[in-house]
Amino acid sequence: MKLSVIIAVYNRAHLLTKALWSLKHQSIAPDELILTDDGSDEDIPAAIQPIVRGLHYPVKFISQPHQGFRLARCRNNGARHATGDYFIFLDQDIVLSRNFLEICVKHRRPRQFCVAYPVRLTGQQSQLVTESVIERSDFRDIVTKDQVRKVKWQYFKDNFYGLLKRLHLRRIGPKLRGLFSAINRDDFILVNGYDENYQGWGNEDDDLGHRLYAAGIRGKNPFYTVYPLHLFHPPYHQDGERVNQAYYARRRKAIDRGDFRCSVGFDQPGNDENLIVLRLN
């Protein structure tokens, strides 16, 4: 089994740096790392070069021209250039505890994807997440009991939803959250990956999750004592406005009727733009 970690990037190299520190100190290493960029203004390869030099697996950097918020296409770009059997999708503002990838691999099953629920840090908490803290993988002095309690509550909630799904009492089990997901390559390709018609913030992950369930692929949350940290940053959206809501509502009706493949996705890379593709180590 070959493991590909795919991180979506847009500016904010200081957040990506912490995410890469957490990959550097994992108990098991991925076989490759794909950084897929939405046309950052910042020089991301230069900013992360000191970290990348210390990683003992290939690191690729892919960048598309910035034409607004195109996260769905960005993630598909990463998947197209990945060679692994198991895709770990991450956002650049996610810090993983040491055993996170190991748990992902342990719970890999045919026709199953994994999800997690993060601790959402404040700005002050995020500043305390240093490389030494990440290396020790001990966040007890940073996160609050209430934050951890919320993660554990979501774990039970997610897996209760999974039970209801198996009993045919609910349409989907645990919700797929774009900030982290682990999906078998074959399952991702089966549903044609992310729907690139989603442009602007919101709903592309909800859509993918519903299509995976419609294709008979179940979700699982195996993360009870181990959890990702979501680093604080200003939002990409205004007051939670989801510009794709009307399109998503139309697609949900089709998905619920069994249409689990999107029309513009993994197998239809755009021919109207040139990607920058670099090997960073």
CATH number, domain containing residue 273: 3.90.550.10
For residue 241, is pLDDT > 90?
A: no
CA 67 – CA 280 distance, rounded (Å) = 24
Residue 238: the pLDDT is 55
In tens, the pLDDT along 84-116 reads: 999 999 999 999 999 999 999 999 999 999 999
In tens, the pLDDT along 45-63 reads: 999 999 999 999 999 999 9
For residue 215, is pLDDT > 90?
A: yes
CA 106 – CA 173 distance, rounded (Å) = 20
For residue 271, is pLDDT > 70?
A: no
Query: Minimal CA–CA distance to 158: which of 147, 171, 179, 174?
Result: 174
pTM value is: 0.96
In tens, the pLDDT along 112-165 reads: 999 999 999 999 999 999 999 999 999 999 999 999 999 999 999 999 999 999
Q: Across residues 237-248, what is the average pLDDT? A: 77
Q: What is the mean pLDDT of the chain?
A: 95
The domain total for the chain is 1
Domain interval for residue 178: 3-279
